[in-house]
Amino acid sequence: MASARLREPTPVRWGLRLLAVVYVFLLVLWPVSLVVKYTFADGLTALSTALTDPDVTHALRLTAVVALSAVVINLVFGVWISILLVRYEFPGKRALSALVDLPLSVSPVVVGLALVLAYNPRTGLFGTHLDAAGIQVIFATPGMVLATAFVALPLVIREVVPVLAEIGDEQEQASRSLGANAVQTFRRITLPSIKWAVVYGVVLSLARSLGEFGAVKVVSGNIVRQTQTATLVVESKYQGFDQDTAYATAFLLAAASVICIVVVSLLRPKEQS
Amino acid sequence: MTTTTVPARTARRRRAGGAGSLSGPTALGLGVAVLWFSLLVLVPLGLVVTTALSDGLADFWETITSPQTLSAVELTVVQAVLVTLLNVVMGTVIAWVLVRDRFPGKAVLDVVIDIPFALPTIVAGLVLLALYGPQSPIGVNVANTRASVFLALAFVTLPFVVRTVQPVLEELEADVEEAAASLGAGRLTTFRRIILPSLVPSIAAGAALSFARGISEYGSLVLLSGNLPNRTEVVSVRVLTYIENGDPASAAAAATLMLVVALAVIVALDVIQRRVARRG
Which of B6, B40, B114 has its CB closest to that of A91?
B6
* pLDDT grade for A270, boundaries at 50, 70 and 90: low
Mutate to test the interface with A, among B102, B171, B218 (most CBs of A within 10 A): B218
Query: Measuring CA to CA, how many Å separate B79 from each of A31, B74, B177, B216?
Result: 21, 8, 36, 12
Give the Cβ contact number of residue B92 at 10 Å. Answer: 21
Would an 8 Å CB–CB cutoff place A5 in contact with chain B? yes
Residue A248 and residue A216 share a domain:
yes
Residue A211 and residue A110 share a domain:
yes
Closest CA to A271 of A173, A212, A198: A198
Residue A4, pLDDT above cutoff 60: no
- State the nearest Cα–Cα gap between B4 and chain A, in angstroms: 5
CA distance B101 to A16: 9
CA distance B49 to B190: 49
Residue A83 and residue A199 share a domain:
yes
Closest CA to B132 of B233, B219, B220, B71: B220
CA distance A25 to B108: 11
**Residues A247 and A35: beta-carbon distance below 8 Å:** yes
Residue A107 and residue A215 share a domain:
yes
Q: How many CB pairs under 8 A join A and B?
A: 289
Would an 8 Å CB–CB cutoff place A28 in contact with chain B? yes
Where chain B has pLDDT below 70, the residues are 1-21, 266, 269-270, 272-274, 276-280
Alpha carbon A156 to its chain's center = 9
CATH number of the CATH domain containing A199: 1.10.3720.10
CA distance B217 to A109: 9
Residue A84 and residue A30 share a domain:
no
* Mean predicted lDDT score pLDDT of chain A: 89
Q: Hey, is A180 helix, strand or coil?
A: coil
Question: Residue A211: closest CA among chain B residues belongs to which residue?
Answer: B120
Do B181 and A87 make contact, defined as CB atoms within 8 angstroms?
no
Residue A85 and residue A8 share a domain:
no
pLDDT tens for each residue of A253-266? 999 999 998 988 88
Do A253 and B120 make contact, defined as CB atoms within 8 angstroms?
yes
Region of residue B233 (left: phi > 0; alpha: psi -120 to 50; beta: else): beta
Residue A238 and residue A124 share a domain:
yes
CA distance B19 to B54: 46
Residue A3 and residue A116 share a domain:
no
Q: With the CA atoms of A15, A17, A21 and A24 taken in that order, what torsion angle do they form, in degrees rounded to the nearest 10?
A: 90
The confidence score (pLDDT) of residue A26 equals 95
Q: Which domain holds residue A24?
A: 1-39
Number of domains, chain A: 2
CA distance A256 to A259: 5
Residue A26 and residue A123 share a domain:
no
The confidence score (pLDDT) of residue A255 equals 94
ipTM of the predicted assembly exceeds 0.90: no
Which of B154, B209, B237 has its CB closest to that of A27?
B154
**Residues B258 and B217: beta-carbon distance below 8 Å:** no
The confidence score (pLDDT) of residue B279 equals 58
Rounded to an integer, the average pLDDT of A190-207 is 91
pLDDT tens for each residue of A132-180? 998 888 999 999 999 999 999 999 998 899 899 888 888 888 888 888 8
Closest CA to A149 of A83, A200, A100: A100
- State the nearest Cα–Cα gap between A227 and chain B, in angstroms: 17
B219 interaction partners in chain A (CB closer than 8 Å): 108, 213-214, 231
Residue A212, pLDDT above cutoff 90: yes
* Phi (first) and psi of residue B69, to 5 degrees: -70, -45
Query: Measuring CA to CA, how many Å separate A60 from each of A231, A237, A248?
Result: 9, 14, 12
- State the nearest Cα–Cα gap between B79 and chain A, in angstroms: 16
Task: Assign 3-state DSSP to chain B and report helix, strand, coil percentages, each to 5.
Answer: 75, 0, 25
The interaxial angle of helices B67-100 and B248-279, nearest 10 deg, is: 40
CA distance B240 to A128: 23
DSSP for B101-155, written as a single string: ---TTHHHHHHHTTHHHHS-HHHHHHHHHHHHSTT-TTS---TTSHHHHHHHHHH
Residue A165 and residue A52 share a domain:
yes
Do A96 and B4 make contact, defined as CB atoms within 8 angstroms?
yes
Residue A3 and residue A108 share a domain:
no
**Residues B232 and B145: beta-carbon distance below 8 Å:** yes
Rounded to an integer, the average pLDDT of A7-34 is 91
Residue A178 and residue A147 share a domain:
yes
The confidence score (pLDDT) of residue B6 equals 39
> At CA B16, angle to CA B10 and CA B20, rounded to 5?
50
Mutate to test the interface with B, among A3, A86, A88, A272 (most CBs of B within 10 A): A88
The confidence score (pLDDT) of residue A188 equals 87
The confidence score (pLDDT) of residue B278 equals 67
**Residues B217 and B77: beta-carbon distance below 8 Å:** no
pLDDT tens for each residue of A79-136? 999 999 998 888 888 788 888 888 888 899 999 999 999 999 888 889 899 989 988 8
